[in-house]
Amino acid sequence: MATVGGWTDAWALRLGRLLLPLLFLGTAGSQLQVTTAPSSTACVGLGALLQCRFDVGGPVALDSLQVTWYFWEEKVAWYDQGRRKALRGANLPSEKELQSGDASLSLAAVTVPNEGLYRCVVGYKAQQHKGETTLHLLAAPTISIPRKPAVADAETSLLCHVGRFFPKDVDVAWLRDGQVLKGFTRSSPHRNADGTFNLTLTYTFTPTHNDAGNIFSCHVHHAALEQPIQEDVTLDILAGDRTGAVVGAVLGILLGAGAAAAAAIYFWRNRKKGWTVSYNVPEVEVPERCLLGQEVTLRCSMEGTFPEDVAVTWERIHSEDRTVPESAGDQESPEHQPLFPALPPGWRVTEERAGTRLTSSLTFTPTLQDHGARVRCVFLHKAKRIREERVSPEIRVWARPQVSEIQVLPEWDPRDKVPFAVQLHNFYPREVPPIQWGWDGAENGKEDPAQIDKNGDGTFTTTSVWRVPSRSLTRPELRVRVCVQHGPGEPPSERELSLRAAGLLRPPDMSEISLTESVAKGKGVTLSCLIAGHFPGELSVTWLKRRKEKKTPVILRDSDKYRVEPGTAVLARDGKSFQQETRLILLSPKKKEKEYICRVGHLTLETPIERSTDCRPRPPHLGEVSHPQALVPGQPETLRCLISGFYPGQLAVTWLRKGAGEKAPRPLESSDPHRMHTPAPSPAPDGKSYSVESELCLPPAGPEDDGVEYLCRVQHEALKEPESRSSGRLRVQAREHSPEPRTAEEGGGS
């Protein structure tokens, strides 16, 4: 394994000096200035320092200073008037360093997901400026070359595995005795679970004995290296079998003297039958794994000198029958040869003769019934006097899982964690492939599936669930990712899901600000507002004050007159939303400060929403009383009156009835057959008024209702006297009469 040297802290310092002339300033023309570097570079696994300096034109008062660092849109560290907080791995300077104008952000052990745009936002008193810097990460590659001897005059491949590098742009080459070779191939970079990349460089050739001792080198150059790295390997050549004597010698070495003697007898016996036994029959070539439903080819070869009339036969051995018949040996009669069972439908055999090599290929599409089965390849002389056979290893059938899209499960257990799930369908065998979960800015995690189900066709299905704390999900574009590794040499399946696409985002709902009589009496009071139903839990809360004579409200901060408590988000009972209560404590309220405003911002809102304590009562507006053109005899009707624009929200609604000929209307009582319904008033979108629609359900109309008038009367503190809205006089529709038959006394017929 090659190592990479030269990446030291000194190099990082030299890089920092190169970047210093590139520093840019924040907005000019104001007292506050913010300075950041356009970009920073760090090594994966080491720390990083993102420089940010500011100047306020004099000494820094910490009680007027706010510093916030963002990674893209996610807040990672902040300092606000003596209070500080940072996510894990991030850190701000000490207060002494802040007073000197240093607001740099340090990151510990950065990983690939930490690469990206960072913003340093500095607020001082009424001013605010920002600077941006992009963090670039580097990971130096490693080299690994599997060492194994080559066989003379046989095709061989040299492999060079280049691993754990970032970014993915890398220059690689195979060298021979220092000269770049032509014809090598490289795989596409494969992303690891930690974000780094791997690739394999392959050089395939047919060596000869003259190539023994040549030095082959894998040469790699990458942005994370000061100098290219290289690993060398000396080519070792194994001699192949050339004559029967060599075969006997090799067998004598490998099998012992007894086996060599048996091989010599075999040689001479078969020589009399017309065979030249300078040949070799390797084991059957079987892929390590056969993909279910995808055509696969098994090969069996005879190499050397042999007659042209050699026949090749294949036989399938079922997994439940592992018995292999003994070789036919010297059986004299063809009638005594065992019959070969027919191959399954769809299995086909092809042959290829090239020089001294005869290759037979068996091609088929594997099913689950082939898992664990073997095949036998048999070479026969036409006289069937001699038989050479090889039995393959067990066929291992494999089915790649079908990976679903990521989804959020409806049941959250525990309720403070969001369950992201992905399903793996139709995989085989039962062992679940490695599953890696991760998300922006967080380490990868792994959770083994709790249950594996067997399908009707023999494949398997399972569900992998990864639970993320609700409080960690703060950005709508934050993406949860899952990577399913299928196996060596197989590209993984990757899925991702953003919070916005997951349907998790919910806007907040605000209650009215609590208001007590103590405000008018000039006593210290606490105003509060409940914010609920939002996801994620992070939101911004601002309290403002508007004086009677001014239109623009002023932001309130902690002082000897006010204390602002934004509140803390608390997970709701269902675990799928948050709520928090914010308070404004008026330590010495003044009567002229008529209005206090609570303003809330959330990532689901284009503009913040507000609630106000505006104490000035607003009278209600009464709309027309809706009514039918005429009352239909025997049918009930409903009258409605919309009341809007009033503040505060408490009011009383009464319905009155004035019959034809009556001088004054009378209030309807609960004993009347009429039904009245006035729901609770609803706040208007601006949070400064209310509206409500009152209904009066009339009983079935009768003759006594002709000319009746109904009134909707409203009482409110902004009205000196109750206001009413009339329906006008209602008429009962006349019945259509049909002529009645006359009686006998009236002259009608009987």
Q: 127 and 14 in one domain?
A: yes
Whether residues 390 and 284 share a domain: the answer is: yes
For position 555, what pLDDT does the model report?
Answer: 92
Q: Which of 612, 646, 676 is the last residue of a domain?
A: 612
- pLDDT for position 261: 40
Residues 476 and 519 in one domain: no
Q: Same domain for 630 and 594? A: no
Kindly state the DSSP code that residue 82 receives in the 8-state scheme. T
The 8-class DSSP code of residue 704 comes to G
pLDDT band per the 50, 70, 90 thresholds, residue 598: very high
Do 134 and 40 meet the contact criterion of CB atoms below 8 Å apart?
yes
Are residues 201 and 313 both part of a single domain?
no
Q: 257-272 and 244-255 helices cross at what angle (nearest 10)?
A: 150
Residue 208, pLDDT above cutoff 50: yes
- Write out pLDDT tens, residues 433-453: 888 888 875 556 666 676 889
- pLDDT of 6 over the 80 cut: no
Instruction: Quickly state the pLDDT bin for 244 (edges 50, 70, 90).
Output: very low
Number of other CB atoms surrounding residue 540 within 10 Å: 12
**Which residue from 113, 73, 68, 74 is spatially nearest to 92, judged by alpha carbons?**
68
Can you give the pLDDT at residue 28? 39
Please report whether residue 255 resides in a domain: no
Q: Tens digit of pLDDT for each residue in 145-191?
A: 887 788 888 888 899 999 999 998 999 999 998 899 988 999 888 88
Determine the pLDDT at residue 686. 63
- Pick the more confident residue, 444 or 671: 671
Which among 52, 220, 31 has a CA at the least distance from the CA of 131?
A: 52
pLDDT(103) > 70: yes
Q: Is the pLDDT of residue 263 over 50?
A: no
Instruction: Kindly tell me if the per-residue pLDDT of 654 is higher than 50.
Output: yes
Listed residues 138, 154, 175: the one ending a domain: 138
The average pLDDT across 244-270 equals 41
DSSP output for 258-278: HHHHHHHHHHHHHHHTT----
For every residue of 630-679, DSSP letters joined together read SBPBT--EEEEEEEEEEBSS--EEEEEEE-TT-SS-EE--TTSS-EEE--
CATH number of the domain at 513, please. Answer: 2.60.40.10
pLDDT (0 to 100) of residue 421: 92
What is the per-residue pLDDT for 447?
Answer: 65
Whether residue 4 lies inside any domain: the answer is no
Confidence check: pLDDT of 692 > 90: yes
Q: What is the mean predicted confidence (pLDDT) over 72-81? A: 86
The last residue of a domain, from among 450, 479, 502: 502
Same domain, 128 and 230: no
338, part of any domain:
yes
More confident residue, 587 or 162: 162
Compute φ and ψ for 733, nearest 5 degrees: -65, 135
State the residue range of the domain holding 523. 509-612
Residue 86 forms part of a structural domain: yes
pLDDT score of 272 more than 50:
no
- Cα 543 to Cα 72: distance, rounded to the nearest angstrom: 27
The reported pLDDT for the residue numbered 142 is 92
pLDDT computed for residue 416 by the predictor = 84
pLDDT at residue 663 above 90? Answer: no
Within 10 A of 60 (CB to CB), how many other CB atoms are there? 16
Q: Is residue 603 pLDDT above 80, yes or no?
A: yes
**Number of folded domains that form the chain:** 6
> What percent of the chain stands above pLDDT 90?
31
pTM over 0.85: no
List, for residues 697-733, the tens digit of each pLDDT value. 999 988 888 999 999 999 998 898 999 999 999 998 8
Let me know if 480 is exposed, middle or buried by CB neighbors in 10 A (0-12, 13-18, 19+).
Answer: buried
Q: Which of 139-148, 256-265, 694-703 has the lowest mean pLDDT?
A: 256-265
The pLDDT value recorded for residue 89 is 83
Within this chain, do residues 553 and 659 fall inside the same structural domain, yes or no?
A: no
pLDDT at 218: 94
Residue 255 pLDDT > 50: no
Same domain, 88 and 21: yes
Same domain, 131 and 151: no
Arithmetic mean of pLDDT, 257-275 = 41
Whether residue 705 is contained in a domain is answered as: yes
Specify whether 182 is located in the same domain as 303. no
Residue 456: partners with Cβ closer than 8 Å, 6 or more residues away: none
Q: 3-class SS at 370?
A: helix
Does any domain span residue 116? Answer: yes
Does residue 385 carry a pLDDT above 70? no
pLDDT of the residue at 30: 54
Q: How many angstroms separate the CA atoms of 326 and 738, rounded?
A: 112
Confidence of residue 343 (pLDDT cuts 50, 70, 90): confident
User: Residue 466: pLDDT above 60?
Assistant: yes
User: Which pLDDT belongs to residue 716?
Assistant: 92
- The vertex-216 CA angle with 210 and 217, nearest 5°, equals 170
pLDDT of amino acid 415: 83
In a domain, 259, yes or no: no
Give the residue carrying structure tokens 């802040």.
98
pLDDT at 615: 54
**Whether residues 370 and 416 fall in one domain:** no
| 375 or 381, which is more confident | 375
Domain assignment present for residue 153? The answer is yes
Residues 113 and 202 in one domain: no
Average of pLDDT values for 6-29?
A: 41
Give residue 448's pLDDT: 64
Q: What is the pLDDT of residues 20-46, one digit of tens each?
A: 444 444 443 458 899 998 899 999 888
**Polymer length in residues for the chain:** 750
